[in-house]
Amino acid sequence: MKRGSVAACAALAAAVAVCGLRALPYPFVYDDVTHVADNPHIRTLARPLRFFLDPSTVAVTPTPATEIYRPLATLSHALTFAVFGPGPHGFRLVNLLLHAVNAMLLLFLVRAMLSTASPENAGIAAPADAFPWAAFLAAAAWAVHPVNVESVTWIVGRSNILCGLFFLAALLCRTRGEKEAMGRGWWRAAALAAFALALLAKEQAIVLPLILVACDATLAIPGRRRTGGRGYAAFFKVAGCYLILRLLLVGRMTQRGGWGGGVGEHLAFQLIGFATYLRLLVLPFGLRLDYVFYPPFGKGAGWFILSAAAGALYLVLLLRALRRRSPYALGLSWIPIALLPVLNILPIKAVANERFLYLPAMGLSFLIAWLLAQRPGGGRARLAASAAVVCLGLLSARRVGDWKSEFTLWRDSAQKEPRSFIAQVNYGKACNDEGRSGLAVEAATAALRLTPTCEEARGAALHIRAVALMRMGRAREAERDLRRALEIDDALYLRAALAHLLAAEGRGIEAAEGLQDAAPRPAPPHGRPPRGMADRESGASESGPGMGPPYPPPPEGTATRSPRGAASS
C-alpha cells in the first residue's frame, strides 16, 4: 500500500475515533438490552450453527424471530462477548473498528471508480491518484455523516456495519476481477462469497446485483468486455437462494400490512419516505429515533406535495445524467437502488429511519468524489469540502451524546418529535427510571393525548403514569390509572402494581383478593407493553414499529425494555 493510502486510512480511522470514542462507556440502551445484554444465546459459542438455523437467537424474546433473519450479526455479538465480556464498551469498540474499515474500503472503491472511468465518460483527464483529496473527502464525508451515528453507536446497528463491510468487499472483488484477466474466476468467487455474507448480516444487501448493473451502465471502463446478463446471473442466484432460506426460516417477507387506507396512500408514504431520506442526507438535522408522518391525503398533504416535487426533480436529474452518460449517474442511481428494500415495496415497520441510510449514503460519496475530481486544481472546492466534512463530524459528535443513556436518548426524541407516542412513552419510562416523576407524568399524559382511541397503547401509558404518581404520593390518581389500565389488559404485572399500591395504603385484604383473581399472565418482556399500537386518532404514522410498539423503533425486530418498542426492519 502506498504511503498516501496509509495516511488516508489513518486519517479516516482518526475521524471515526474522534466522533465515536466518547460512546464507549455508555450503557446498553434501546434494543441493545434484548439483543445483547439479556440475550442468553450469545453467551456461548458451543453451537455457532444455531444462529443460522434458528432466527429466535437474535434476542432474548422469540418475537423478533417472526420478522428478521440476520445470523451473522448475532454470531458477531457472540464472538464479541467471548473476547470482551458482557460490558457494552467491547461491543461499541468493535462497531467503531468495523465502521473505520468500511470507510477505508469505500475510499478504495471510490478510487477504483475514478481511475477506471474513461476521460470522455468522467469529464476528467487524469486517474484518481491525481486527485487523492477527491476520494479521501468523499469517504470521510460518509465516515462522519450524522445519519450513520445510529448504526455505529447503537450496538444492534452491527448488522448494518457488517452488511456494509461485505457489500463493499464484494464490489471491490468484482471490480478487481473485471480489470485482471489472471485470477478473474477467483475474484468473482470472492465477490459472490462476500455478497452471501452481506445478506446474512442484513437483507438490505439484496440490491447488490442492481448496483453492479448501475456501475456497468454508468461507467465506461476502457478495454472491458460488456458483461451481459450472464455476468450478473450468479449474483441473482445467490440472492434467490437467500430469499428462499429466509422464507423457510422466518415464514414471511413482510412485517405488516400496507401503510394508510389503500394502495394510493401506501404509495404516497413511499414517496414521503424517499424524500425524507434525501433530506437527511443533504440536511442531517433533527435526527431522532422515531419519525411521525401524517396521512398524505389529510394532515400531511403539504409534506406529500413537497415530497412529490423532490422526487420528480430527482428523477429528472437522474434521467438527464443517464442520457448524457454523466459520472454523476452512478451516485444518483446508487441512492434509490440501495433504498429499495426499505421503501416499503414489501411493507416494513417504518416509513423512514436513519439506520437504513448506511448503504444509500455511499451514493452521496460518489457524487462528492466526481464533483471534486472534475476540479483538479480547485483549492477552493477542496477547502469547502473539507469544511463540510468537519461540520458533519461536529454534528455526529453531538448526536453521539444523545445516546448517553435511555433518558437522554428519549428526551431528545420526545423534544424533536412531540407527536410520537413511541418517543413520549419511552421518555416517560426513562424519567421513572431516573426518579424524575414529574417529567414522567408529563410524558405519559402527552402519550395518552396522542392515542385517544388505541386502548392497548393507552394501557402502557397509564401504567407508566401510575408508577410516577405513586412515587409522588398521589395514590388515588395512581389507583385510578391502574384500574383503567386493567380494564384494557388484565395482566398480572398490573395486578401486582395495584396490589402494591393498596397494601401501602393499608388495604391489604383488598390487595390480596386482587392478586388471587389475577390470571396467570406474565408481564411483557422487560416490563414492556405489547406491540402493535398506532396513533389511529390523529392518523399519524410512526416510523418505528410502524403501527407498532409503544416504544422506540429499535433495531431490527424486537420488543425492547419496558417502554420501548421494536422496529424489526
pLDDT tens string 459-488: 889 999 999 999 998 988 988 988 888 888
Using 50, 70 and 90 to split pLDDT, how confident is the model at 4? confident
pLDDT at 401: 95
Cα–Cα dist 566/569, whole Å? 9
**Range with the poorest average pLDDT among 96-105, 137-146, 289-298, 330-339:** 289-298
According to the model, what pLDDT value does residue 511 have? Answer: 74
Each residue's pLDDT tens digit, 173-202? 998 887 776 778 899 999 999 999 999 999
C-alpha cell at 216: 456497468
Q: Considering all CA atoms of the chain, what is the largest pairwise distance in Å, rounded to the nearest integer? A: 88
Average pLDDT, the chain: 83
- CB-CB contact of 264 with 270 (8 Å): no
pLDDT at 529 over 80: no
Measured from the Cβ of residue 128, the count of other Cβ atoms closer than 10 Å reads 21
Q: Which residue has the cell 442531517?
A: 284
Instruction: Report the pLDDT value the prediction gives residue 295, as an integer from 0 to 100.
Output: 85
Q: Is 230 left (phi over 0), alpha (psi -120 to 50) or beta?
A: alpha
**pLDDT at 332 > cutoff 90:** yes
Domain 420-542 in this protein, CATH class? mainly alpha
What is the structure's pLDDT at 85? 94
Give the orientation angle of helix 132-143 with respect to helix 361-373, to 10 degrees.
160
Between the two ends of the chain, the Cα-to-Cα distance in Å is 38
Per-residue cell: 116: 477506471
Q: What percent of the chain has pLDDT over 70?
A: 82
pTM of the model: 0.87
Q: At what angle do helices 132-143 and 88-116 cross, to 10 degrees?
A: 150
Q: How confident is the model at residue 523 (pLDDT cuts 50, 70, 90)?
A: very low
What pLDDT is stored for residue 377 in this prediction? 60
Q: How far is Cα 396 from Cα 383, in angstroms, rounded to an integer?
A: 20
Mean pLDDT value of segment 40-49: 92
pLDDT of residue 356: 96
CB 194 within 8 A of CB 169: yes
Distances (CA, A) of 327 to 82, 118, 337, 338, 478: 45, 10, 16, 18, 63
Four-CA torsion 131, 136, 137, 138, nearest 10 degrees: 100
User: Is 293 in a helix, a strand, or coil?
Assistant: strand
50: number of Cβ within 10 Å: 15
d(CA 546, CA 347): 10
Instruction: Answer yes or no: are the C-beta atoms of 376 and 369 closer than 8 Å.
Output: no
Report which listed range, 116-120, 198-202, 254-258, is most confident: 198-202
Highest mean pLDDT among 119-128, 181-190, 384-393, 553-562: 384-393
- Mean pLDDT, rounded, for 298-322: 93
- C-alpha to C-alpha distance for 85 and 79, rounded to whole angstroms: 9
The pLDDT confidence band at residue 132, using thresholds 50, 70 and 90, is confident
Give residue 522's identity as a one-letter amino acid code: P
Q: Bigger pLDDT: 167 or 539? A: 167
Instruction: For residues 6-31, give the mean pLDDT.
Output: 94
**Whether 109 contacts 168, CB under 8 Å:** yes
Specify whether the CB–CB gap between 468 and 440 falls below 8 A: yes
pLDDT at 550: 33
CA 109 to chain centre: 23
Q: How far is Cα 64 from Cα 567, in angstroms, rounded to an integer?
A: 9
* Amino acid (one-letter) located at 297: F
Residue 478, number of CB atoms within 10 A of its CB:
23
In this prediction, residues 346-358 reach a mean pLDDT of 90
Number of neighbouring beta carbons within 10 Å of residue 249: 15
Closest CA to 555 of 26, 154, 90: 154
Q: How many angstroms separate the Cα of 76 from the Cα of each of 53, 71, 79?
A: 15, 9, 5
Q: What is the mean pLDDT of residues 119-124?
A: 49
Question: What pLDDT score does 388 carry?
Answer: 94
Give the DSSP H or E segment for 3.
helix 3-20
- For the chain, the domains span 3-30+87-401, 420-542
Is residue 74's pLDDT more than 80?
yes
DSSP H or E segment with residue 380: helix 379-401
Mention every residue, 6+ apart, whose C-beta is less than 8 A from residue 440: 428, 429, 431, 432, 464, 465, 467, 468
> 496 pLDDT exceeds 70?
yes
CA 300 to chain centre: 24
